[in-house]
Every structure is written in structure tokens, then in C-alpha cells.
Chain A
């Protein structure tokens, strides 16, 4: 582990209740300023691993550290974008209300400061959604909501950006825009994307974390049919996008 290690997991196992092992003997390191995608089949343990990194679940054994500390301590440095499906469509908030929630821990009580409001507006600007500020959150399209939720994560001024299923409910046309935004952001922070969709493995993603009970990291350049098959247990068509890959070490044993 060096100074730039963002997430470090060592010999970690996790199970829900007795005998139902979800993750087994997981070890990997995530280095700073990389953009990494976590993939794997549904039920393979992606969400569980995410919640462990966020400190919401405790592993049965092994160690997990984020920015060199316990996950609970460093979660404040993480900007988190949840899946969209969890939101109550009847909740009365507009887009700006949602974005400024990223600053909620900065106010002991009472109201958001001018600085908080500026941070929220800047984040909306950066995501190109300033014009939506006063729109009802539930009335927005999937793509607009995704940008609003990323803007909310950005107002946390994160060093690690965690995006849970960002391309679900998004039109393919909008996805291209999304990857360009991610590319911009990746200059400033480490980004960890979670997706069950292999199409996410697109350009500018340096490595892929494959989660299916065990965890393997593959640099994108080495991804090929046999690794995918090993992950998912059956044949899949892999559409490789043209991209430039980093040549980081291949940790897969």
C-alpha cells in the first residue's frame, strides 16, 4: 500500500447470516486517480462490496481501508451516487434541493450558507444541468436525474466518486455524453463505477474489477472472451470499444 492507494482490501470475506458467503477471500488495491469499473452478474456481490467500502456493512474477516483509514471515518471523502430506482417519486423536492443535500453535513443546524449554494450551483453548471434547478425532481428524465445525482455527489467535494449503476435507465445516446463527463472528472478524482452492463467497459476506464464471489482485477487491455466467460460462467458477446489503455499490472492470479 502506498500513498496513492485509495481503497485497500485484504483477505476479506463477507456473509449474510450463517453460511451464505457472498464474498470470499477478497484482496485488491485501488490506486488514486484511476477510473475503475466494477462488473459482475446480479447477485455476484457488487452491491455488498460497495456497501463494505462505504462502511455500511462489516466484513466477517480481513481488513478494508479507504484512504488509509476505516471506511466509516473516510466515507466523508466519498461522493456517492445511488441507483435511481430507490427514490420515492412523490417526494416534493426540486433538482436544486437534491444537489445541495451534498452539503448537509456542513450545517450544524439551520440553513445552507451562501457558499453551500454556490457549490451546488457550480456542480450543476459542471454537469450542464443549471437550467433544471427549479424543476420537480421526479418529473426529470432518467438522464437528467443521473446528472443531478452526480452533481449532488460533486458538492461533497469528493476524492473518490462512487457511481452505482449510472447507466441504468439511460438512453444509449445520452450514455456517450455521460462517458465524456466521466473523462473530465477523472482528471480530478478517483472514480469507481458499478455496473452489471459490460458496455460500460468503455474507453478511458483503466481497469475492471470483476466481482462474482471472488474478486479479480483486469486491466481493460487484457479483457477478452475467456476472462468474461470465467466471470459470468457462459459466453457473452463482448463489444470492444476503441480506446487507449493503461498498462497497469495484472493482479489476477
Chain B
């Protein structure tokens, strides 16, 4: 543990600090948007968006190399692809009569396929693995700034529209009858999910996005009776999972993304078991003597 704390303050390895702080900062968005995603039950939409991100990253890398657009950072491609995927899924589920899950599945793999083709056609060597499985240690100062900007944006919107989102997620029909533009809030929620997915991709990689988006909220949901409490608890858990994951991966020389996910997954398992035991105890006590 000491070694980890020393590394955090070591001026020789700034990337380590960037990694740690981007994990902490992004956790705020993970907790809030993760809670909406879990309660509104749109985990698979988040999964499809995250896989489409590879298409955006691939396109950005390809254009950067072939068109010599030096300014085109892969994260811009990621943001564009994520927002496009969110809006496509949103409009399909609102308007078209297509089976929603089929469209989600199609977008999921088509986005991925596009990304792989772009990366294959990009001159020079591109390490697709770091996008797929994440490498938080690659986070640069510039990435950290982007993480902070997206974080503030997500946070502002999510807090600003908290009551509207809560009403729409809890009872969409009632919200509609109160004159709320339910479609607008659904699309806004998907866009917030898209931005959060981009943050998640930088931390744990495309393949493991869903886990870090939903596991903290899933654990928190078992111990929260109100939406904002669930958000606060998810934020704290998400900060714990990412920082503990980075610390363990540093100490034991393991890849950071999978380490974070394993810690989150094991915690979820424990929370489910704990809840089951606590409930059955309560049940036994309340039935005692009757």
C-alpha cells in the first residue's frame, strides 16, 4: 500500500496521478448516470453505445493518420459515435415499430465491426486492446481535462433535471399526463449515458463498461430507499472500486480495467448474499412466536 501512495506523489510518474484522479472524478458521473441506467433498466442500451464507441475511435484514428488531422483525438470520435448511437437507439425505441432489442444488438456489433475495419486500415500500429480492455495508465493530462469537462456537464444536467428524471423513470405514463415531454427526457438520459460511457471507456475499456456503470448502482440499490441516496452511495462505491482497482493492479502488476471490474463484481456478490441473509433473519424474527 505504501508503495502505491508513494507512486501517487512521485513527480517522476505523473501518468499515475492522472489515472488515479480521472478515476475519482469520473466516478461522480458513473454513480449518477449508473443509477438512472439501472432504475430505468437500459443497461443493454449502454452496452450497445459502448461498443459503438470503437467505431468512433477507429474513424478518428484513421482520419487522423490519413488526412493528417492532428487535432483529431480519438476521444472526439468516441463522443460523436456514442451520441449518434444513443440518438439512433432512442428514436428507434420511441418511433419505429422495430423490435428494440434487435436494433440494439445490431448497432452493438456493427459499431464494433466498423471500428475494427478502420483500425485495420489505419497506417502504423494501433493497439486496439487498450481501447477494448482499457488502460487507465494511458490517460494523459489532456484526457484528464476532457474527463473533467464531461463530468461537470453530466453532473449539471443530472442534478438540474433530477426531479423530472425521477418522475419519468418511476412512472412514465403519469409524467406524460402531467404534461412532461417524456421523449425529450428519454433522449437526454440516453445522451448523458453516452457521455458517461465515453468516460468509462477511458477507465475500464469498451468491453467492461456495463459492469462499472451498473455494479456500483446495483450494490447501492440494495441499501437505498431514495434515488439520491442510491446516487451518493454509487458514487462512493465507484470511487472505491476504481481506486482500489488501480492500487491492487499497481501492487500486483495486473491490468487495471479487469482488476477494477473483479473488485466491483465480488462486492456485488457479497452485497446480494448479505441482503439475502439479512432479509431471511428479519423474516424469521418477525415470525418468531406467531
Contacts and interface: CB of A to CB of B under 8 A. Distances in A.
Interface of A: 54, 56, 75-76, 78, 80, 82, 86-88, 90-94, 97-98, 101-102, 104-105, 107, 109-112, 136, 152, 156
B17 interface: no
Among B176, B177, B179, B229, chain A packs the most CB atoms within 10 A around the CB of B177
B118 to A, nearest CB: 39
Contacts of B175: 101, 104
Among A78, A80, A104, chain B packs the most CB atoms within 10 A around the CB of A104
25 contacts: A75-B177, A76-B178, A80-B177, A87-B171, A90-B39, A92-B39, A92-B221, A92-B224, A92-B227, A92-B230, A93-B170, A94-B226, A97-B166, A97-B226, A98-B170, A101-B167, A101-B170, A101-B174, A101-B175, A107-B164, A109-B160, A109-B164, A111-B163, A136-B225, A156-B178
Nearest to B227: A92
Nearest to B224: A92
Interface string B96-135: 0000000000000000000000000000000000000000
B173 interface: yes
Given A92-B39, A93-B166, A136-B225, A56 B173 contact: yes
Among B160, B180, B226, chain A packs the most CB atoms within 10 A around the CB of B226
Contacts of B163: 104, 107, 110-112
Nearest to A111: B163
A105 B160 contact: no
A97 B177 CA distance: 17
A211 to B, nearest CB: 20
B161 interface: yes
A104 B39 contact: no
Contacts of B169: 91
Nearest to A104: B167
Closest 9 CB pairs of A and B: A105-B178, A136-B225, A104-B167, A105-B179, A101-B167, A92-B224, A92-B230, A109-B160, A80-B177
Contacts of A109: 160-161, 164
Given A82-B171, A92-B230, A97-B227, 19 more contacts: A56-B173, A75-B179, A76-B179, A78-B177, A88-B39, A90-B221, A91-B169, A92-B39, A92-B221, A93-B170, A93-B227, A94-B225, A98-B170, A101-B166, A101-B175, A105-B179, A109-B160, A152-B174, A156-B178
Interface of B: 39, 41, 160-161, 163-164, 166-167, 169-171, 173-180, 221, 224-227, 229-230
B226 to A, nearest CB: 6
B276 to A, nearest CB: 15
A91 B179 contact: no
Contacts of A87: 170-171
Nearest to A136: B225
A104 B171 CA distance: 12
Contact of A92 (B160, B164, B178, B225): B225
A22 B166 CA distance: 34
A110 B160 CA distance: 5
Nearest to B179: A105
A51 B268 CA distance: 41
Contacts of A88: 39, 41, 170
A152 B171 CA distance: 12
A111 B159 CA distance: 9
Given A101-B167, A104-B163, A105-B179, A92 B226 contact: yes
Contacts of B229: 92
Given A97-B226, A109-B161, A136-B225, A91 B180 contact: no
A102 B179 CA distance: 11
B114 to A, nearest CB: 35
Among A56, A75, A91, A92, chain B packs the most CB atoms within 10 A around the CB of A92
